[in-house]
Amino acid sequence: MLNTAALILAAGQGTRMKSNYPKVVHKVCGHPMVQYVIDTSLQAGVDKCIVITGFKAQEVEKQLKGPIDFVRQEEQLGTGHAVMQAHRVLAGFKGNVVVLNGDIPLITSRTIKKMLMHHEENSYDCCVLTAELPDPVGYGRIVRDKRGNIKRIVEEKDATKVEKHIKEINSGVYIFNAQKLFEALKALDNDNKQGEYYLTDVIEIIKNRGGIVGGFKLEDHTEIKGINNRIQLAEVSEIMRNRILENLMLSGVTIQDPQNTYIEKEVVIGRDTVVYSGTHLEGKTSIGEDCRIGPNCRIKDSRVEDRVEVAYSVVVKSRIKTGSTVGPFAYIRPDSEIGKHVKIGDFVEIKKSKVGDYTKISHLAYVGDARIGEEVNLGAGVIIVNYDGYKKHQTIIQDKAFVGCNANLISPVNIGEGSYIAAGSTITDDVPEDSLAIARSRQVIKKGWPTKKRKEWEGKQHE
């Protein structure tokens, strides 16, 4: 294969999105839509990947990843004008230039590879990826001559009534001979309804100069669905979401209710794990084998090991080790590490804390900035009082300690190994190992007090 560069157009504002943010960074299953186009081009084996940015360029550039070069299009004067901006960085480049619109995230590397082969086999100067759409509204139409050869592309806004009936559309993916492309761009004008320099006009220019223009028609047109407004954003996201779910199911993950499961592209899940309805798995999350996740969970940027169960809970930027259970209704906040075979029960919030193996925090507790050892038991209503209104402090609870219900541990405090904290205590000082700490006032019994009191009250009523 010839040397190949990809040129991805991502400078437009995307007016039809009605957004303050550039269109190409709107998210599809958690990633900016243009990131898919970048990744797909790289997977297709291009030697160089150039992204053209313009509208809020810095914002776009900072969100994109990979071995890419950015070229700025300071004024957005059309797709042809966008491609012109790459002339300098591709000066002297001889080979294929694959141009892709940044708003078609469903395009696959298989298609790009097949198209490259077709382009080279036929020695084209320009190859356009096309498809027949039942409803072609909004797309540029492919105008063919009597012999069926591509003559030009006409934009919807510039098309005649007859041309509007054409069902074959321009996908926004092209392969050009680099030199022919940049020569033709010099002849481009903006004499059209939108007053823009259309890349699509280059096809006719190349053709008129004796170049060979051909098409590569896709059978499955879902791949080239473009995103111009938020309805299309939802439609494309739905297709992408199903692709991700299907890949997971084929790799051995059970998805109970694919209609109601939202899993982002980078999420990894081990085999025999079951994902129940209403689950959202986001960012860089990995789930081990044989887990039960959901119903109704949100897990983000977290590592969940094998045989873990999480139900009706939120886990963010944390790690949960093998065999532990979380929820229902737990909230594991960033920088927490839950050990092996731990039980985190209902209405428990853990923040920036480490919880040792076999520890139980079964109900109604707040654990913040704490280090909890192994085989510890925190009773219902235990609160780690980590904040004094000014600073956060750390509490340490050693192995096998038992903290009774409704205890407050005023941080910083250290609870020694195997110690007991009496229920209802407010602990302000360290507790040595193997000790019982009681920090509450003694119970007082006043026999007959209610009867006496009632008489007093009743007497008052008769006055």
Q: Active-site positions?
A: 363
Nearest-angstrom CA–CA distance, 325 and 343: 5
Number of residues that bind Ca ion (CB under 5 A): 3
Q: Tokens 């001889």 label which residue? A: 94
| Residue 52 in the binding site for ligand UD1 (CB under 6 A) | yes
Asked if 288 and 306 touch (Cβ cutoff 8 Å), the reply is: yes
DSSP state of 272: T
Distance CA 383, CA 426 (A): 10
Query: Minimal distance in Å, beta carbon 186 to Ca ion?
Result: 25
Q: Which stretch binds ligand UD1 (CB under 6 A): 170-178, 206-214, 237-245, 326-334?
A: 170-178
Q: Please, what is the minimum distance in Å from the beta carbon of residue 160 to ligand UD1?
A: 16
Distance CA 141, CA 382 (A): 67
C-alpha dihedral sign at 318, 323, 324, 326: positive
Q: From the list 125, 155, 223, 305, which residue makes contact with ligand UD1 (rule: CB under 6 A)?
A: 155
Q: Which region, judged by CB under 6 A, interacts with ligand UD1, from 71-79, 182-190, 310-318, 347-355? A: 71-79
Please check whether residue 291 is in contact with residue 309, taking contact to mean a CB–CB distance below 8 angstroms.
yes
Per CB under 6 A, does 140 bind ligand UD1?
Answer: yes
* Number of other CB atoms surrounding residue 446 within 10 Å: 8
Scanning 115-123, 163-171, 273-281, 337-345 for contacts with ligand UD1 by CB under 6 A, the matching segment is 163-171
- The least distance separating Ca ion from the CB of residue 228, rounded to whole angstroms, comes to 5
The closest residue (CB) to ligand UD1 is 140
Q: Which stretch binds ligand UD1 (CB under 6 A): 99-107, 269-277, 372-380, 431-439?
A: 99-107
Separation CA 129–CA 44 (nearest Å): 15
Among 226, 270, 379, 404, binds Ca ion (CB under 5 A): 226
Considering beta carbons, is residue 17 or 378 the nearer one to ligand UD1? 17
Q: Does 200 bind ligand UD1 (CB under 6 A)?
A: yes
Distance CA 362, CA 374 (A): 15
Select from Ca ion, ligand UD1, none the partner in contact with residue 276, using the beta carbon and a kind-dependent cut-off of 5 to 8 Å.
none
CB of 61: closest distance to ligand UD1 in angstroms?
13
Contact of residue 411 among ligand UD1, Ca ion, none (CB under 5-8 Å per partner type) = none
By CB atoms closer than 10 A (0-12, 13-18, 19+), residue 194 is exposed
Measured from the CB atom, is 215 or 226 closer to Ca ion? 226
Among 32, 103, 124, 159, binds Ca ion (CB under 5 A): 103
Q: Candidates 7, 10, 310, 421: give the one binding ligand UD1 (CB under 6 A).
A: 10
Which of ligand UD1, Ca ion, none binds 324 (CB below 5-8 Å, type-dependent)?
none
Residue nearest to Ca ion (CB): 226
Q: Could you give the C-alpha distances from 224 to 47, 96, 100, 454, in angstroms and in order?
A: 23, 21, 10, 82
**Which one of 42, 68, 77, 274 is in contact with ligand UD1 (CB under 6 A)?**
77
Reading the block at residue 134, the tokens are: 């039942």
CA distance 198 to 60: 23
Task: Say whether residue 155 binds Ca ion (CB under 5 A).
Answer: no
- Which CB contacts under 8 angstroms, 24+ apart, belong to 53-61? 53/10, 53/11, 54/10, 54/11, 54/12, 54/82, 55/11, 55/12, 55/13, 55/14, 55/22, 56/21, 56/22, 57/11, 59/21, 59/22, 59/25, 60/10, 60/22, 60/24, 60/25, 60/32, 60/34
Backbone angles phi, psi at 434, to 5 degrees: 45, 50
Residue 76 binds which entry of ligand UD1, Ca ion, none, with Cβ cut-offs from 5 to 8 Å by kind? ligand UD1
Q: Residue 120 in 3-state DSSP? A: helix
215 binds ligand UD1 (CB under 6 A): no
Listed in sequence order, the DSSP H helices in 155-196 are 161-164, 178-185
- Cα 80 from Cα 85, distance rounded (Å): 9
Residue 43: closest CA among 66, 20, 60, 14: 66
Nearer to ligand UD1, 178 or 199 (CB): 199
Residue carrying structure tokens 């097949």: 114
Q: 223 touches which of Ca ion, ligand UD1, none (CB within 5 to 8 A by kind)?
A: none
Considering the rule CB under 6 A, would residue 168 count as an interface residue with ligand UD1?
no
Among 226, 339, 368, 379, binds ligand UD1 (CB under 6 A): 226
Task: Tell me which of 32, 102, 288, 379 binds ligand UD1, using CB under 6 A.
Answer: 102
Candidates 19, 76, 108, 229; binder of ligand UD1 (CB under 6 A) is: 76
CB of 325 to ligand UD1, least distance (A): 46
- The rounded Cα 208 to chain-centroid distance in angstroms is 45
Q: Where on the chain is the footprint of ligand UD1 (CB under 6 A)?
A: 9-12, 24, 52, 54, 73, 76-79, 81-82, 101-104, 139-140, 153, 155, 169-172, 198-200, 226, 228
Q: Where on the chain is the footprint of Ca ion (CB under 5 A)?
A: 103, 226, 228
